[in-house]
Structures are given as C-alpha cells and as structure tokens.
Structure 1
Amino acid sequence: MLSLGAFAFAAPGMLALLLALPVIYWLLRLIPPLPKLVRFPAIRLLIGLEPSEQTPMKMPWWLLLLRLLLATALILAMARPVLNPQADLPGSGPLLLVIDDGWSSAPGWTTRITHAERLIQRAERANRPVVLAGTAPVAIDAPALRRGALRADDARTVLRAFRPKPWPTDRAAAVTTIDQMQVDPGAYAVWLSDGLEDEGAAKLTERLRRFEGLQVVLPDQATTPLLLLPPATGGRDLKVQALRPAADGPRKVAIQAADDQGRVVARIDLDFAATATKGEGTLPAPAELRNRVARLDIETQGGAGSTVLLDERSRRRPVAVLGERPTATGQPLLQEVYFLERALDPYVSLTIGDRETVLTRNTAVLLVPDGAVPSANDREEIAKWIERGGVAVRFAGPNIAAGNDPLVPTRLRLGDRALGGVMSWGQPSALAEFPANSPFLGIPIPKDVRISQQVLAEPTPDLADKTWARLADGTPLVTAEKRGQGYLVLIHTTANTGWSNLAISGLFVNMLQRLVTLSRGVAGDGVNKALKPWRTLDGFGRLGAPPAGAQILPADAIETFKPRPTTPPGLYGDENAQVAFNIGGHVGEPKPLVLPGGVSTDRLSEGGETDLSRWFLLGALLLLLADIFIALWLRGLLGRAVRIRRAAPAALAVLAVVAVMAPAPPSDAQQPVPQARPQRVADQPARPGPPPLSEEQALKGSLDIRLAYIITGDKEVDDLSKAGLEGLSEILRSRTSVEPADPVGLDLERDEPRLYPLIYWPITSTQPALSPRASAALDRYLRTGGILFIDTRDQQMSFDRPAGGNPDLKRLLSGIETPPLVAMPPDHVLTKSFYLLSDMPGRWQGGKIWIESGGGRVNDGVTTIVIGANDYAGAWAVDQRGRGLLPVSPGAETQREMSYRVGVNLVMHALTGNYKDDQVHLQDIMQRLRR
C-alpha cells in the first residue's frame, strides 16, 4: 500500500500507467473529431446554402484535456485509492470473522455487514484468506455455505448470504464448528458480537483467545437489541413491556401496532427509566381497535425479537348475555348475569339484553343462563345463529332440569332425577382432568372447586366425544356439540353459587375465555392436539411461508418450546385460526456480554476507511458521457430529434424537386416583370414571386409526408381541419404503407404550399379574399402538380358549375386560374386508387364531386382540383382516444368508415397519380385469371 497521509493506494503498481499519458496525448492529437453530419436533402441546393463550418485538422485543446482527464480517472480507479486507510491486520494467518447472527443481531445488521466488508478489504490488501463463521444454528432449508479459508471475493459472496436468524445464538456449537474447520492458529479473530451474554459466551471467548489476536466488536446504544414481550391482556388496554440488556440511561422507544395488512393503526411511546432494564407502556385499545391489531413492533429495530404477533388470546371478542342487567335491588349476588359480567367484562366487549338486542349485533359468543328462559321462537333463532358460526353457552338450573328445553347438545336423563333436576351427594365433587379433546386442556384446576348439584346427561355412544369436562366420578360437567359452523355448549351447573362454587373461582374465568376464543376456531393453547406452522418470522421480523421441515408443535405445551430452526417463531394453525409463538417470553432476559480482562474491543460503525475506486469510476463515466455529448454536438446531432421512419415514396421527392425548380418570375432592378401566361390576358398585372423558403420549412416539408390545410382564420374550423387530417393520417399509418407526419396549417402569405402533396381547403363565409401573393402561391401549386381538395361543407354542389352554387367559393377562387370543372365520372381513378368506391360521402351524404375536366393539365393527366361539399374533415376528426368528434348522418359509423376510405383514395391518388387507371396489362391479367 502506498500511503499519502489520509489518502492511500491499495494497488500502487497501477500508477505506472500514468507514464502512458504522453502516448495517449500524442494519439489524441492525431485523431481529430468526426466531421459534422449535415442532413442535406436535394431541395437545399436551390436555397443557396453554403457550408458555414469546416472540419478541424487537430483536436481542440479543451477536448484533448477532457479525454486526458478521462484516462487519468480510469488509471487512478484501477490503483484502488483509499481514504483514511486503516493499519494492516495483526497476525500472519487468515482473518477469522465470527458473526453473531441470531435474533439479537437484526438491529444494525447493515452496519454489521459493512464493518465485516471493511475487515475483508483489509485482509485482501494483505493477501490473507478469510474464514467466516456464524454463531446461530443455520435454517433447515438454507443452502450449504462454503467453509474454511476463502479468497476475499469468495468471502464477500458468502457474507452476502448471511442473514439474522429468528432464534438465539448457540456459541458453544460455534466453537465446535471452528474446531472442525481447523483454522490456522496464527489467524486474527474478530468477533462481531450482538452484545448479549449466553451460556456459550465464555467458551467462545476462551477458544478465540487461542489465536494470534482477538478483537470483539460491540454494538452501540442505537443497535443494542431490545426484546419485546407479549402484552398483558388483563383489562381493556394492552400493557406493553420491553427488555434491554443494560440500564444505560433513560431511553424512549416507539411501539407501533399494525393490522394483518401491515397498516399502522396505533402508536405509543415506551419509556425506560435511567436505572431500569424494563420499559412499560399502555396501548389504549377499544374493542374495535384491539381486534384489528395483528402485531406489535419496536420502531427502528426491525427484528424478530422486537416483534410480537397477536392471536385470539389478545382480542376482545363481542360477547352477549341473554337476560337483564343485575340491579342492587334485585340481590345481584344471587343473579347469574352478575357473575358472568364480572368474569368476562375485563376481557371482552360485553352486551346484555334480550334476543333481538344480542343477536342483531356482530356477536361471537352468546351466554344463556338458566334464568333467561328462551321462547320457542328465540330457540329457533339461536339455532340458526349457531349454524352460521356462533358459539352458544348454556348453563343448567331448575329450568333446564325440567326437561322442556330441546336446545341442548345431548339428551338429559329423564325420570325422577331429571324431574327433580338435582343430584345430591354426601360430599360435593371435585373436577377430573380435562380430556384430550377439550378446549380446556392445559388449564390448571384449583383443588377447592366443588360441584354440589348438576344436571345429568343421558348415556349415549357419542357422549364421551361430546364431553369437555367431567367430575371426579366421571359424570359430564360440560358437554358440547358441533352444529354447522358453530358450537352449542352446556355447562351442567348454574352460573352462580347456587349449585357450586365454580362461579367464584379463577377456573370459571379461564373456561369462559377459552370458550370465547373458540368462537374464532381456536381455544388458546389447547384447541388441537398439534399445531402446524402456518406463517413464520424471519430474522428481520417479516412474516412468510414456513421453512420446509418445520416441526408441528403440541398445542398443550407450546409455551415450553424454544425458538430454533425446527420451531421458528410465527403463527401456528391454519388459515382459519392461529396461535402466536413469539420470541419474547420464550428466551431468557437479555444480559450484557461479560468479557475477561485483556480482550480488545471496538464499536460497530460505518466509518473508517473508504474505497474511492467507485467514485473515480463514476467520474470517468461522467467524463465519458460528456465526451459523447460533445461529439454529438460537434457533428450537429445534438438537439435535433431524429425520427426513423420508412422512406417516403420516390414520387414525393420528385414532386418537391419539381415544385422548387419550377420557373418563377424573374426580377430586374428590384421590379417585378410580368410573365406571359397562355390562359391569361397579355397585359394582366404581374404576379408576386414565391416567399423565401427557410431551411426549417424545407426540411419539414421534404423529409416527411405531411397533409396540409389552409388556415381560414376561424379557430373552430381550423381546429376541426387539423383534427380531421390527424385522424386521416392515423388511418393511413395503420392501413397503408404511407406514414404521414403531423398535419400542417398553411398561411398562404408566408408558407410555401408546393412541399405538400395534398392540401385541404374548407370554405367559410368569414374567410377574406385571397391576396395577390396567396393567389399566386396556389396558382403555382396547381401548375406544378399539387392537388387542392376544396370542401364547401354546405351540400350545395348540385349546380352545373360548383362555384355558381356557393358565392363564397366563387369569391375565393376569383384570383386563381381555375380550369373547367366537371362532375366526377363513376369510373374515375379516385374511385379505385386504393378502395373501390361507388359513392364519396363525408359527414353528410349525397351531392357531386367536381374535378378538373380534360384529364388534368400536368402530371400525366392527374386532376389538380377536387371540390366536394360533405364536410369531410368533420367526418375524419377524432379525439385523443380515437373516437369521432362529430356525428355522421345518416349512415353513422358505417358512413364514417366510407369517408375515411374517400380520404385514403385522395392521398393515394396524390402520391401515385393515375397508376390505378393504367389499362395496358388488363387483357393479360384477365386472360391469366380465366386460366
């Protein structure tokens, strides 16, 4: 390395290429820039254009300097310049990078990888191999990574495959991995630690100290991992808690709550006291908001440990009680509704009322105490509600014992005992363990709960499957039956203290909560025998598909499992119901890493040395782009839009040349001299000459085929003419080989019309008479082969002479040598130049088309004037979506299509002349067709 203070070159040998700069200079001096490219249509020969710029024999000095700078930037980039270079790594062996990649490494992961890349770069400069090792168990579906000593480029590739894992590190296993790789004892070890203590930290530190050097890189406060715990669900709000490794002063973090679509629905601040490792906050969560929250996240952390997934245990389901709210005058301690309200109100959204009140709401669970005797109509409505997915929980008592209520999950025993409704024991009975098919499985049973009276179930073959709770003597206490999408549950005792002390125990609350969660298809931890992984978290806290080979968790012991590759955190269950399995609460409290004395430490940072190679390459690229633009500018190509189109027909070029080369009235002493015209009187005043043709106008008219229209001064008519020719141009592009450019509006006082094969002229009453210059321009246009399509737009062309039927047409044509006109014969070439037409409709239908008599004066008999009256531009005009602007009558869209065909025939006639009127080969063609 060549060091120049804060600047160094990692490959100083490449600087020898600077000696080649004189040779590059000499070569650049010999190579002049490319000559300027000038688009030179033949029509410009007549403009008298002289070349105003010559090709230099030598390169300009400023361009030479630019290219020398470009070569210098490339050479310096290959020399790998470095800003603020770090000292070479200690030791003589490879660089051993040990990276903590468990859940606690997700905060600041980008900084961690950047730090590792800088270390690899330092090893590369010293030509030392790199060994990479992670401390977290690899995922079961992860591809195998290369191990052992690697080249720097290979090490970077392996490093990019590292990702934080959603489970804790196993540093003791990492020691075994390092031993298996047989790393050279002279290696220099760098441990990118997450800053947390675990059982294998001391063992890993001891093993790494055996190498020639060791440095432990610790996270700073911003990247120190925080562990978010599942919220406490007691009460109406969510109590949120988070843990940090060390009490390093006051700290405030933001907790955001999001729904299952990722939308943030709430946000709170969680405060850590200066001397506390636990921060607490309260998320106000009404029932509607609480049921939407699907996850909690610590902002700026972005890891699986700072994410908590919520399931049905954290939601407040709408629960209804059939009956009346207890009152003080009615002895509430004896009323069943009182005990139900006390047990559930802190955890659910509770409603108390009659059947119309509770079943018209979005109720999940309906509690029916024995005192609320539903009528036959009520029982029918409740049965329908259960079929739709509701959970109805009934409590026994004197009314159920009477045996007159069929809305029960199993038949009740009849006879004296059923009639009496009560079974008495010498001693009240306790509860047996919950069966495996019970949603109450896993709930601890208090020893002091006693049942003194109950309603007995009639023994049936399926009674065992319907029993969710039993007494110690085996008699059912809770029975249930699946009906449709819902459940009907019967608790064979009362909801108050009349028959048992169950209503005043914690077991009563837990059982009711399980029944509430059952309304969503999940009953806490014990809904099923086993839960398969449905969605799992990755190391960054993102939910995704579970890895192949993930283990099914037993529902009754999910809280005892630890996050690891076979049991990653996430949601377990199916699309209908899931149980959340989080990192928080399943791993130990984070503790700060304790290192023995004498171990060198550093902090994670994005600073340090900076490789400037990419910046020199970027500068070289910018200089290259500047050189390209300058070259285009010198050639005259910059700033000119080059449009690639098909070559225009040769007839257009011939037309343009003939139009410009046509004789014009000469001038003598700046005075116009009359020119003899065979069709005019000899002493007629002289006609003005053509206006000067600009370069832009010449290029615009000769390089592209364009249809033109005469500007009348009426904005509405002119806009319609432009829209009509645009619509006709689009038809030509889509149906023929002609690809016209945008149409042009002509001001005959300034523009040269001879550049356009077809000119459309709408006649209006407000149009002023043509000036001598405009009349002369149109006269020259007609004499040199152009076609003028006049549209009177009045449907009055039925007279013997068209001008006689329209006074505005007669007035406007008065200054133009108009040849004799005749009605177009049915077999004229205009009816077959592209389409075969029998009529020439526009926006209107009917009338005649008038053309020049005698087959035309020039261009091999091609007519020069076509006059119609059907408002053709109005039929051709379209909007931006390609739809007609004006209605067409009487043929609607069919007539509009025919008017398009009229326009196509006009353009093809203007470009190909009387080609379709040639009958020379007709006999041969017909003879071949007969064969």
Structure 2
Amino acid sequence: MLGLGPIAFAAPWVLAALAVLPVLWWLLRVTPPAPRVVRFPAIRLLRDLTAREETPARTPLWLLILRLVVAALVILALAGPLLNPRAALPGGGPLLLLVDNGWASGRDWPNRRRAMEELVGQASRQNRQVIVLATAAPASGEKIQASPPLPAAEARRLIQALEPLPWPTDRAAALEVVRGLAAKGAAHTVWLSDGIGDRSARALAETLQRMGSVEVLDDSAGKPPHLLLPPSPEGTGLTARVVRADASRPEPVTVRLSGADGRLLTRQSIAFEPGQLTRDVRLDVPTELRNDAASLRVENDTTAGATVLLDERWRRRPVGLASGRPEGENQPLLSDLHYLERALAPYNEVRKGEPTELMKRDLAVLVLSDIGALTGHEAQAIEDWVKKGGVLLRFAGPRLAQNPDGLVPARLRAGDRALGGALSWSEPAKLQPFDGKSPFVGLTIPEDVTVSRQVLAEPALDLADRTWARLQDGTPLVTSEKRGDGYIVLVHTTASPDWSNLPMSGLFVNMLRRLVTLSGGVAGGAHGGTLEPLEVLDGYGRLVPPPATSFPIAGDAGADVIGPRHPPGFYGTDDARRALNLTAGLTKIEPLGALPNGIARAGYGERGEVPLKPGLLGIALALAMVDLLIALALRGLLGRWTTRRRAGAAAAALLLALASVPATLVPLGPAHAADDMQATKVTAETYLAYVRTGDGTVDDTSRAGLEGLVDVLNRRTAVETAGAVGVDPETDELAFFPLLYWPVSPAQRGLSDQARTRINEYLRSGGTILFDTRDQSAGALGGNASLQTIVAGLDVPPLTPVPPDHVLTKSFYLLNDFPGRYNGGELWIEAREGRTNDGVSPILIGGNDWAAAWAVNRNGQPMYAVVPGGERQREMAFRFGVNLVMYALTGNYKADQVHVPAILERLGQ
C-alpha cells in the first residue's frame, strides 16, 4: 500500500497508467471529430449556398481536458484509493483473529463482524494470510482449534459464518491452541474480546505477545454485558437480580417480562450507582399474567446471560383446600383452612371447595385437612391426579385417626397419640433438625414450636426413607410417598392449633412453600428420566429450534451441563417444560482487567477507512455521460440547435457533473437519483423501495437485496416489477410504493415532524412498511433502541407475532416461518387487521436481515452467507419475499378464497 498523507492506494502500481495521459492527449488532438452531415432542402437554387456552420478540424481544448479528466479518474479509482487509511498491520507473518464468541458477544456481534471484515481487507492489501481462532467450543462438540492460514477471500467467508454461542468461552483451551501456533512462527494478533475476564485471560495475552504485536478490541465500556439471575417468587411478583462486571459508572437498566407469545407483560427500570455490581428488580403482575410469563430479559442486551426462561417453578400454582371440619366458619381462628389460607395465599392462588369440584380445574396441589372418609370414586380420581404430577398434602386430625384410608404414605395406627394418653409423652415434643434427604433441609426450627398430639405411623422397613420430618423422640411428623409422577404427603398433626402450635409459626409457611414446589405445575409431570430439547437459546438470547447437535439432559440436571451438547433452553415436553438457564450456575462476572504493557486497546467502532473507488468511478461515469452528450451535439444528432444552444447545453451538463462531485466522493450507494427524475420513473412502473439510512454498507445491501427479490418476482410470478429505488422519508414522496423496506441502523436518527407526517399519511393511505432490525430481536419494539427512536411519533398499531393461519403464510407459497439471513426471529404484524387496506397490516417488524439473504451481485451470486440453513434457508427467504410483495399488493384476497365454496353453494341455492 502506498500512503500519501490522509490518502493511500491499495494498488499503487495502477498509477503508472497516468503516464499514458500525454499520449492520449496527442491522439485526441490529432484525431478530429467525425464530420457533421448538413441536409439541404431539395431546391436547386440553394445547391451552391455555403453552410454558415462548419465542422471544426480539431477537438476543442475544453472537451480534450474533460476526456483526460475522465481517464485520470478511472486510473485513480482502479488504484484503490483510501481516505484516512489505517497504518499497515505491524510485524510479519499472518494475521491472527482471536474471537471471543461466547455468550457475552451476542450484544454487539454486528460491530465485531464489521471489525473482522475490515481487518481481513487490510490483510488482503498487504498480501498476508489470516488465521481465525474462536474461543468458545463449537456447536459440533469438537475441540477448539484454529483455522489454517487462509487467503482473505476464504477468511471473509469463514467470518460471515461465525456466530455467537450461548455458553461461556473456554480460554484455557484457546491458550493451548495459541501455544501451538506460537511454535510455528510470528504473527500479528487482534483479540476481539467480549470484555469479560477470567483466570486464563492474562496468560493468553502474554502468550500472544510472545508471538508478536497484539491489539485488543473491547467495547464493554460503551455497552457492558449483564447477567440476569433466575428470579425468586415473592407474593404476586418476581424479584430478579441484575449483575454487571464494572462498577465504576452509573448505568440505567430495564428488565422485561414477556409471555410465551412474545407479549410484553411488564417492564421495570433500575439504575446502577457507582460502586454497585448487583441490583434487584421487582416485577409485579396479576396472577393470570404471571402464569403466562415465559422469559425475563435485560432490554437491549441480546445475550443468553441476560435472558432467563421461566417454567412452572416460577408460576403461582393453584392450590385447592378442602376440610372435613365444619367448625370455625364463624370463628376463623378455630378453622383449619384459616391457617392454610394465610400461609399459602401470598405465594399461590388458593381455591376452596370439595375435592372433586376442585379437580375439575387446573390444580397443582390438593390439601385435605382431616378428611378421613373418601368415597371409592373420590379416592380413585385423586390417585389418578397424583400419578400425573400433582401433590396431595394431607393433615391428620380426629377423623383421619379413626378412619385411615389408602391415600396415605404409611400405614397408620388407629387412634392417636396425645399428651397424657397411653401412648403419650409427659410434655409437648419439639422437632429434630431436618436431614439432607428432606425437602425442608436448611429451614430454621424455632425453639417454641411444639407438638402435643399426632397420628402414629406403623413401623415398617422403609418408613425412615419416607420420613421428611421427625420429633425429637424419632417419631415421624411428615411422611411421603411418590406415586407415579406426583407425591402423597401426610403431616401427622392438624393444620389448626388444636394439636400443635406449628400452624402459627413462620416455619409452617416455609414448609408449605417447599411442598408446593414439589408439584409439576398445573400441567403435571415431574422431571424424571431424560428430557428432550424443545427450544434452545442461540447466541443472541433468542429461542430457536434445537440443532441436530443438541442432546437430552437428565431430569435433575443443573446449569453445570450447559455447553455445545446441552445449550440453555427448554427441555421436556410441551406440557411439562423444564427451563435450563445459563445464569443458574453463572452468577458473577468480572472485567477483562489490566493486560501486559505494550498491548494496544481500542473499541469496535468504525476504523476510519473510507474507500474512494466507488465515488471516483461515479464521477468518471457522470463526466463520460456529459462527454457523450457533447459529442452528439457536435455531430448534429441532437436536433437543429444553434451553436450557442449546444454550447449552453454542454456547459449545463458539465456544471451538473461537477455539482455531483461532492455527493459521490463519499460512497453512499448508487440509489441517490434526483427526486424529480425518480418521481417520473416510479409513476410509470412498479418499484420496490428501501429507506436510505446513511450507512453505505446497509444501503448497498438493501438495494442489492431488493433487486435480487425483483428478479425472483419477475421470474416466478405475474408481478412486473421494474426495480428498486432508495427513498428519504424527509423529502421523497412515498405514495408511489406499495411496500417500503426499512433497515434499522444505528446511524439513523429520530425523524423530523415533517417525516413523521409523511409516513403516517403513507400508512393511512394503504402503504406497508417492513422494519428489519437485522439483529434477530425477540420483541416487536422494546428489544431495539434504534427502532424505538425511529418509530417514536408514528401511528404504530398494537402488534402480535404472525399467527400460523395468517394470509402472509399462503399469499403465494405455503410457509411456516419467515427466515432471512438469520432464522428464528419473530415477525410482528398488526394484532387486529381491519377492513381498511384490504386487511393488510401497515407495519411489519422483524429482525432476520432479509435484504442480506436476497442480495446478489451483478453476476447473480449471493453476497452474504445464510446461517444456519444455507441455501435452503435462502430459498425460503426468497419465498417469504414473494409472499410479502403479494400480500402488500393483493391484501386478504388469498384468505377470501376459503369462502369460495360457501359462496358458490349459496349462489346455487
């Protein structure tokens, strides 16, 4: 690379062609333009008249200079000029890209990929090979290994296929790989860090430094990672804990509670103060909404560590209460149900009634207080319910003591043991500490809790294994038996203070909470055996179908199994899900910390290089068109103009070309046509439009994507689409376009009032806008800050994920999902599509980066890799694009076809 101050040339040898310009000057001077033909009227008297205008013998000087400028611009463009070029990569040998692609990298992956592509381009200009080493274990389960030294083109394809993963990095394994590379020779290393520190980080940096120069990229200062720990249920709400690595700055954080269908249930904001590493956030929702909750997420932090999946363990489980004692209806303090309801109501939905009536609704726990005589039908129905995962909790009393039945965990002696009786103790008994097999282990037993009367269990060989609580003399107080997927639990004393003061203690509340958690929830089903993966989290914290490389987990597995074989997500069955969360085992993080001296650190922002080749070629093309117009005018092929008019037209064309120079120096894509010309063009034919963001890469991708979709539409459907154009909502008229593709880019700013008015009028008059966040956002609006900025003030209707039977799934192709460059993100539409605009939703929001999947180059070859489904996924992305355009053009026409048989039948009648 040749550098000249703020400008450098990637191919400086091309500049040698500038020496040909003098030769070109000589050739153009000695070669006159073609003679101009002058047609005389067919009148003999005018034959000998001399024409007033004569063809010049030489090319005009100003036209000669114009042509030399065009040639010089083409030569300069082919030399690959760069504005503000970075210094050459230091050292020798290949470029090593060490990429942290664990759970913390998903929050800023587009910036990481852009930085990697720029580094690869820089290595390509220096003819240096590239080695890529990812520090997270690959999804295939293989060992971490580096790629061989690759040419820039192959390294760029590898980078495009690289994605963040939902488990931690393994820098210790990466360190071993780096030591092997160090033995092979020197290299310049760029470590694309996630900003998280561990015990291997410094050793890894020191080993990299021994290989050669090292640069670390880290944006944790601007966008820090967070951990969201699984919440604890308290009353009607959930209390979650947010953990961060760096406590040096104040920071606002928002936590969202969402349903299984993506609906926002509630959100709560907190603020970290300097010095705080953890903050608790409480989310209060009604019971009905809390039972619909499926996930907690830190807003705008798209990682598996900032996502918590919720299963039955976090729901307010319905508990049914039934008592065999009618006493106490007018005196609550004498009623069994009074103490049970007071203990359970803050944490569960409590229902009271007869056992058979209670089981007609979803129920997690059934509490029977001193019911000793169950009919055969009742006993069988309760036992069947327990085997499906329910918990039957029984309290003893006079009735059960005299009439024991089969729904008890141990055989009971007839009668009861009372203070002063034959089988009695001289003073009330206290409780023993709970052993390790008991679900009550860890609970503190107050000194004043005593039992004065109980029902005794008959001795048996397995009675000790079934006992969860004992009195100090060893007699069982709480026994249990597992039947099917559920439990039968018996407390050998009453639920009222008649036989014990336990119901008036805090221990009673905590014991009941532990017993309720034994249930499999309202769906039933305990977690035993192995659990198949249902949905798993990807590196962006989104639920996606499990890949072929994921395997079942044991029913009692914890977060320590999380890895390539067992990614975090939902396991089990649709009726009984088990959430496996990364943060159940990962509870704290720390910053990367200090690195050895001599290692440079920077962020993932734009690296400053601006390629001037597209701009110079654009200027050269504009000047070449001016030259063509001038040549046609000089030959008399533009009509009977006078010399003065031709000169004026040429000067105007030249001024127009010169005026376009500032706009093309910084390449913003070829879609910036003049407004009047564009308005004239788009009224004659159908065009697809995209919103220009100001980001050259994004705009070029949008244009190439829509042009690729236009080609597919013209080949496969009856839609005749002329092409794709870029628009600016601030100035351009939008009414010409049935569909507007709006890529969301951080470079975009909020809209002006004029732009909001234009867009709202477009939406109300039947237009459709597809907002593409390009980051696989899980939520419609709350998950992307840039999108929230753009839509502020727009007439956005209530949104919902596309239902399975929506017309968009069948407007041309039959589709089940809507993949783009990525797969798994939700597509949101208007919740209640009205009769206006043929039922077409004015707003669609998704994040699968559809334009990148549609984008093709001039040779018709795809421009971007599609993950994880490859070319099959690209084909489905094109099908979605076809369905989208047909949906925007024809509305609910396809949906109306289902009524045709009924209409024909009525016409026949």
- Aligned-CA RMSD value: 5.4
Cα distance 1:615–1:224, how it changes in 2: closer, same or farther (>3 A)?
farther
State the partner residue of 1:514: 517
Residue by residue over 1:490-532, the C-alpha shift from the partner in whole angstroms, topping out at 9 and shown as x without a partner, is 5554334555676543662343222444443255xxx425544
Question: Is the contact made by 1:196 and 1:592 (CA closer than 8 Å) also made in structure 2?
Answer: yes
Q: Which secondary structure state, in structure 2, belongs to the residue aligned with residue 512 of structure 1?
A: helix
Q: State how far apart, in whole Å, the 1-side matches of 2:488 and 2:123 are.
A: 70
Cα distance 1:587–1:893, how it changes in 2: closer, same or farther (>3 A)?
closer
Q: State how far apart, in whole Å, the 2-side matches of 1:258 and 1:14 are.
A: 58
State the partner residue of 2:479: 477
Question: Is the contact made by 1:417 and 1:423 (CA closer than 8 Å) also made in structure 2?
Answer: no
Cα distance 1:602–1:405, how it changes in 2: closer, same or farther (>3 A)?
same
Is there any run of 5+ residues in structure 2 with no aligned partner, and where? Answer: 35-54, 634-892, 898-905
Cα distance 1:623–1:488, how it changes in 2: closer, same or farther (>3 A)?
farther
Counterparts of residues 378-397 of structure 1 (less than 5 Å): 392-397=392-397
**Does residue 1:198 correspond to 2:201, yes or no?**
no
Residue 588 of structure 1: how far off its partner (Å):
4.6
State the partner residue of 2:573: 574
Q: State how far apart, in whole Å, the 2-side matches of 1:19 and 1:325 are.
A: 110
Question: Is the contact made by 2:417 and 2:424 (CA closer than 8 Å) also made in structure 1?
Answer: no
**Does residue 1:365 correspond to 2:365, yes or no?**
yes
Counterparts of residues 419-430 of structure 1 (less than 5 Å): 424=423
Cα distance 1:442–1:499, how it changes in 2: closer, same or farther (>3 A)?
closer
Q: State how far apart, in whole Å, the 1-side matches of 2:95 and 2:486 are.
A: 63
Residue 276 of structure 1: how far off its partner (Å):
1.1
Residue 221 of structure 1: how far off its partner (Å):
2.8
Opposite residue 582 of structure 1, the aligned amino acid is N
Question: Is the contact made by 1:423 and 1:453 (CA closer than 8 Å) also made in structure 2?
Answer: no
**Does residue 1:262 correspond to 2:262, yes or no?**
yes
Q: State how far apart, in whole Å, the 2-side matches of 1:382 and 1:141 are.
A: 46
Q: State how far apart, in whole Å, the 2-side matches of 1:194 and 1:348 are.
A: 41
Opposite residue 566 of structure 1, the aligned amino acid is R
State the partner residue of 1:161: 161
Question: Is the contact made by 1:294 and 1:311 (CA closer than 8 Å) also made in structure 2?
Answer: yes
Cα distance 1:487–1:196, how it changes in 2: closer, same or farther (>3 A)?
closer
Question: Is the contact made by 1:522 and 1:579 (CA closer than 8 Å) also made in structure 2?
Answer: no
Counterparts of residues 225-244 of structure 1 (less than 5 Å): 225-244=225-244
Cα distance 1:211–1:12, how it changes in 2: closer, same or farther (>3 A)?
same
Q: State how far apart, in whole Å, the 1-side matches of 2:300 and 2:240 are.
A: 17
Residue by residue over 1:541-587, the C-alpha shift from the partner in whole angstroms, topping out at 9 and shown as x without a partner, is 1223444454654444525x263333322223222222222222412
Opposite residue 571 of structure 1, the aligned amino acid is F
Deviates more, 1:66-75 or 1:158-167: 66-75
Q: State how far apart, in whole Å, the 2-side matches of 1:474 and 1:535 are.
A: 43
Q: State how far apart, in whole Å, the 2-side matches of 1:153 and 1:493 are.
A: 76
Q: Which secondary structure state, in structure 2, belongs to the residue aligned with residue 82 of structure 1?
A: strand
Question: Is the contact made by 1:17 and 1:75 (CA closer than 8 Å) also made in structure 2?
Answer: yes
Q: Which secondary structure state, in structure 1, belongs to the residue aligned with residue 107 of structure 2?
A: coil
Q: State how far apart, in whole Å, the 1-side matches of 2:15 and 2:265 are.
A: 59
Question: Is the contact made by 2:268 and 2:282 (CA closer than 8 Å) also made in structure 1?
Answer: yes
Residue 268 of structure 1: how far off its partner (Å):
1.7
State the partner residue of 1:402: 402
Residue 225 of structure 1: how far off its partner (Å):
0.9
Q: State how far apart, in whole Å, the 1-side matches of 2:625 and 2:375 are.
A: 89
Question: Is the contact made by 1:424 and 1:452 (CA closer than 8 Å) also made in structure 2?
Answer: no
Residue by residue over 1:893-922, the C-alpha shift from the partner in whole angstroms, topping out at 9 and shown as x without a partner, is 99xxxxxxxxxxxxxxxxxxxxxxxxxxxx
Is there any run of 5+ residues in structure 1 with no aligned partner, and where? Answer: 33-55, 635-879, 884-891, 895-931
Residue 316 of structure 1: how far off its partner (Å):
0.9
Residue 602 of structure 1: how far off its partner (Å):
2.5
Residue by residue over 1:274-302, the C-alpha shift from the partner in whole angstroms, topping out at 9 and shown as x without a partner, is 22122332211221111111011112211
Q: State how far apart, in whole Å, the 2-side matches of 1:614 and 1:316 are.
A: 63
Question: Is the contact made by 1:481 and 1:489 (CA closer than 8 Å) also made in structure 2?
Answer: no
Q: Which has the larger radius of gyration?
A: 1
Opposite residue 153 of structure 2, the aligned amino acid is D
State the partner residue of 2:762: none
Q: State how far apart, in whole Å, the 1-side matches of 2:612 and 2:326 are.
A: 78
**Does residue 1:112 correspond to 2:112, yes or no?**
yes
Q: State how far apart, in whole Å, the 2-side matches of 1:530 and 1:432 are.
A: 29
Residue 85 of structure 1: how far off its partner (Å):
0.2
State the partner residue of 1:700: none
Residue by residue over 1:602-629, the C-alpha shift from the partner in whole angstroms, topping out at 9 and shown as x without a partner, is 22233223352673498499979999x9
Cα distance 1:215–1:442, how it changes in 2: closer, same or farther (>3 A)?
farther
Q: Which secondary structure state, in structure 2, belongs to the residue aligned with residue 227 of structure 1?
A: strand
Q: State how far apart, in whole Å, the 2-side matches of 1:582 and 1:622 are.
A: 57
Counterparts of residues 733-752 of structure 1 (less than 5 Å): none
Cα distance 1:460–1:222, how it changes in 2: closer, same or farther (>3 A)?
same
Q: State how far apart, in whole Å, the 1-side matches of 2:605 and 2:294 are.
A: 34
Q: State how far apart, in whole Å, the 2-side matches of 1:167 and 1:83 are.
A: 40
Deviates more, 1:609-618 or 1:88-97: 609-618
**Does residue 1:330 correspond to 2:331, yes or no?**
yes
State the partner residue of 1:88: 88
Q: State how far apart, in whole Å, the 2-side matches of 1:893 and 1:245 are.
A: 71
Opposite residue 330 of structure 1, the aligned amino acid is Q
Deviates more, 1:218-227 or 1:527-536: 527-536
| Count of matched residue positions in the alignment of Structure 1 and Structure 2 | 604
Question: Is the contact made by 2:232 and 2:240 (CA closer than 8 Å) also made in structure 1?
Answer: yes
Residue by residue over 1:187-209, the C-alpha shift from the partner in whole angstroms, topping out at 9 and shown as x without a partner, is 22222222222111121122112
Question: Is the contact made by 2:319 and 2:348 (CA closer than 8 Å) also made in structure 1?
Answer: yes
State the partner residue of 1:135: 135
Question: Is the contact made by 1:112 and 1:192 (CA closer than 8 Å) also made in structure 2?
Answer: yes
Opposite residue 3 of structure 1, the aligned amino acid is G
- TM-score, normalising length: structure 2: 0.56
Q: State how far apart, in whole Å, the 2-side matches of 1:192 and 1:296 are.
A: 28
Q: State how far apart, in whole Å, the 1-side matches of 2:138 and 2:511 are.
A: 44
Residue by residue over 1:191-241, the C-alpha shift from the partner in whole angstroms, topping out at 9 and shown as x without a partner, is 222222211112112211212312222214332211111122122211122
Deviates more, 1:617-626 or 1:289-298: 617-626
Residue 73 of structure 1: how far off its partner (Å):
6.9
Q: State how far apart, in whole Å, the 2-side matches of 1:624 and 1:356 are.
A: 89
Q: State how far apart, in whole Å, the 2-side matches of 1:270 and 1:220 are.
A: 19
